[in-house]
Chain A
Amino acid sequence: MSWSNMASSNENESMMEVDDSSKVVSFLTAAMPPEILSKILHHLDRNSRVTLRLTSHFLKKFVDEYLGVYVVINDQTQSQDTLSFFSRVAIRKAVVERASVVPFSSLFKYPQYLDSIFIDGEVHTNFLEGLLTSCPQLRILILLGEIRGVLPQRITDNSQSFRQTLMYLKSIDIRISFSTFASNVPYEDEQQSCFNMMNFLSTFHAPLLETCCLDSWITKPYDRYKVTGVLLSFLEIHTKLKGVLVYFRMATKDFSDNVNVISYPLSDYEKQLCSRLKNLSKQLQLSTCILSSVPFSNLWEFFLKDQTRLHTLSFCDKSCSWGPCEVPLRNNWESMKVVYILLEFRFPVDFAVFSECRSLRDLILINTASREILPGIPIDLLSFDKVLSCQKLQFCAMSNIILERRDLWKLIKLADLKYLALLSSGYGFETGVNIDLLKALLGSRQLEALLIDGTVAADEAEAEKIYEMMQLTRHVDVDGTNPTETDIRAGLVVNIRPSYTSFHQWTPNPQGDGFLFNMEFDHNNP
């Protein structure tokens, strides 16, 4: 011991509130500094917060006005009871399914405590204005719907309160849509919505922003370049970004327009975009990059080569202009921890690269081609042995991918594997779960969760039997598409698509409030 007690004589000095009548020291009272009380109670789940409201006047007030609760706001929660509850409490995190039907001020009595909001569905500019001008604690802003109406000039002029809200924002998800699938939305409105968003982004500066997700839906190939221009402007002024997800989606089934490949001669505008993209690689240092069908994809490949801190990568491209076979980032595969590969077409996949992924922790291989484009022709993984050399693999999800039984066996035996998702056909077990597989699974004591679907298992009863025999603490069965909230509530987050649900890891809450979302992208960032 490098210290010693030299004297101890005086009476204790209590720092707690003392109830003179009983000489009982109470805790969690107004005698505690609010910042400490807040720290103690900050991570409580919703049910515990609600219970705390019943314990004392002080704690009720503290929860209502400072601590807040998490809510999901949708058509079902528009009852008087709910609104009455909302009108009393501070809301810390909110999932809003219909942001167009309720005025912002009626939902958020204490907007200053809102730190995360997930708006799934269209949002009216009035609601957005309320959000962006009165929530200085906002850290995560997810806008999956479109903006309806026109943004007020005072927002786009960067008003003081707007800048205050953006000051500490850490993450934003935004969709830019040049197309519409809703038959009741006139094309002109869709265009207006898109220009709203682009206008919004062009005035947007959140100096501490760490992640951005840009999801764009377009119909005309050239619109890609417009969106790319906005995206580059956005990236150029947010140099602290660590995670970027760019998702270009064609609102058409016509994949023949090969707009990703640069066709020469370039127009002046294209030349300018290329030049900016090259410069960008010197300004940004990303740890996570998820790219899908980005224009100028071969330039993005050069961009990625300069990203020496990258540990999470996803790439897919409908145009075949590049793919995993071209092995970008040849120099730093070793540091990769998470790799998603979305195989849209029949690539001559070379998985030799995985032999270099000594740190790989999560691997997600999704072949949508066999299901959506080339029915019945799943992709062979000719060199799956290389994947098996990733000895640190913890999470492995595969869909529509043929595996030799011996490879599957080896996969299950990987020492650190905890989560395994086998989705859709292609394992040679069309008649149900093979007993060998079952034995292999049972022998895999470290497996904590298993995800299989109805093709792998003959029926639900058989799947249940596996779960039961393995005594899994958590399991969930999804259909191979994005996990639903129910799946998330079940306790397992399934990162099977490089989309917002995987980019933002949703933290399952033991109490069933499945809508806590945290950024997961840098959880193992060295």
Chain B
Amino acid sequence: MALVRVISSDGAAFLVSQRLAKRSGKLKTEIETFRKSSDNSEAQPEIRIVTIRAEILRLVLQWLQQHQNDPVLPANQNEQDGRGDAEMGQSQWDRDFLAPMDLGIVMELILAANHLEVKGLLDITCKLVESKITGRTVDEIRTAFKLKSDFKGNEEEQTRLENRWCVEN
């Protein structure tokens, strides 16, 4: 089985089958680039991902492993109307996978999925964050996302007045 070594920003190395790795658009490109530039067709590619730490990279690979038989979605599929996301749905496995994660990990996972071009993972993580916002109050959102109000003076009140029309309708 052809393997590829994927190295995280903090130096952790993961040996992954190339078939699995190619389900990431980014890794697929890197492997193909390596093949073109390498004289030895048997050589094992090594890919450094300088923006993703081991804990997160492990999660991405774990997700890919679970979804290795899913159809690969184009990165821009239904980007505008969002039907791709809606139709995809989440499996029970996905829900169990995401359940123990705190928002910090989820946000890192989003960035990693985006960087590695893993659309399915990007979709479910984005939807999870979206669900943490929908229906929440301002304070709840601030708490969940560790946001500090940076409104000064009556700016917040002014914004509330602007919103009034929408809220009342």
Listed in ascending order, the chain A residues whose CB lies under 8 Å from chain B are: 1-13, 15-16, 19, 24-29, 32-33, 36, 39-48, 50-60, 69, 72, 77, 79, 81-82, 84-85, 88, 115, 137, 139, 168, 170, 511, 518-519, 523
Contacts and interface: CB of A to CB of B under 8 A. Distances in A.
Nearest to A16: B107
9 contacts: A8-B55, A10-B12, A13-B51, A16-B107, A26-B147, A36-B110, A82-B165, A85-B166, A518-B83
A57 B130 contact: no
Given A27-B104, A51-B136, A79-B165, A3 B148 contact: no
A39 B80 CA distance: 10
Given A3-B61, A9-B10, A55 B147 contact: yes
B77 to A, nearest CB: 12
Given A50-B166, A51-B141, A137-B80, 16 more contacts: A7-B13, A10-B10, A10-B12, A10-B53, A13-B51, A27-B147, A36-B110, A40-B126, A43-B127, A51-B133, A54-B163, A55-B141, A55-B147, A56-B150, A72-B169, A170-B80
B138 to A, nearest CB: 5
B103 interface: yes
Contacts of A3: 6, 14-17, 20, 61, 65
Contacts of B97: none
B111 A36 contact: yes
Given A12-B55, A85-B162, A57 B151 contact: yes
Given A40-B130, A50-B167, A82-B165, A8 B11 contact: yes
Contacts of B13: 5-7
B114 A518 contact: no
A518 B81 contact: yes
Contacts of B162: 53, 84-85, 88
A139 B79 CA distance: 12
Nearest to A53: B159
A10 B9 contact: yes
A2 B20 contact: yes
Given A5-B14, A26-B147, A52-B133, A115 B51 contact: no
B88 interface: no
The listed residue with most A CB atoms (<10 A of its CB), out of B61, B80, B127, is B80
A12 B141 contact: no
Secondary structure dominating the interface of A: loop
Contacts, number: 174
A15 B53 CA distance: 10
Interface string B30-44: 000000000000000
A8 to B, nearest CB: 4
B130 A44 contact: yes
A139 B80 contact: yes
Contacts of A88: 162
Contacts of A60: 159
Contacts of B135: 47-48, 511
B95 interface: no
Contact of B130 (A43, A47, A50): A43
Nearest to A29: B147
Contacts of B114: 33, 36
Contacts of B127: 43
A44 B134 contact: yes
Contacts of A77: 165, 169
A40 B151 contact: no
B148 A523 contact: no
A506 to B, nearest CB: 13
A17 B166 CA distance: 31
A54 B156 contact: yes
A45 B138 contact: no
Contacts of B103: 27
Given A15-B108, A26-B146, A8 B163 contact: no
A88 B164 CA distance: 14
B108 A81 contact: no
A41 B133 contact: yes
Contacts of A51: 133, 136-138, 141
B16 to A, nearest CB: 4
Contacts of B155: 57
A511 B167 CA distance: 11
Contact of A54 (B145, B159, B165): B159
B150 A25 contact: no
A42 B87 CA distance: 16
A58 B141 CA distance: 14
Contact of A13 (B53, B87, B104): B53
A510 B126 CA distance: 19
A57 B31 CA distance: 42
Contacts of B1: 2
A45 B134 contact: yes
Contact of B166 (A9, A39, A69): A69
B26 interface: no
B85 interface: yes
Contacts of B98: none
A8 B146 contact: no
A396 B65 CA distance: 41
A514 to B, nearest CB: 12
Contacts of A58: 150
A140 B66 CA distance: 37
Q: 6 closest Cβ contacts across the A-B interface?
A: A10-B10, A8-B12, A3-B16, A2-B17, A6-B13, A8-B54
A56 B11 contact: no
B36 to A, nearest CB: 24
A75 to B, nearest CB: 14
Contact of B160 (A6, A54, A523): A54
Nearest to B64: A3
Nearest to B168: A81
Nearest to B167: A50
Contacts of A39: 79, 122, 126
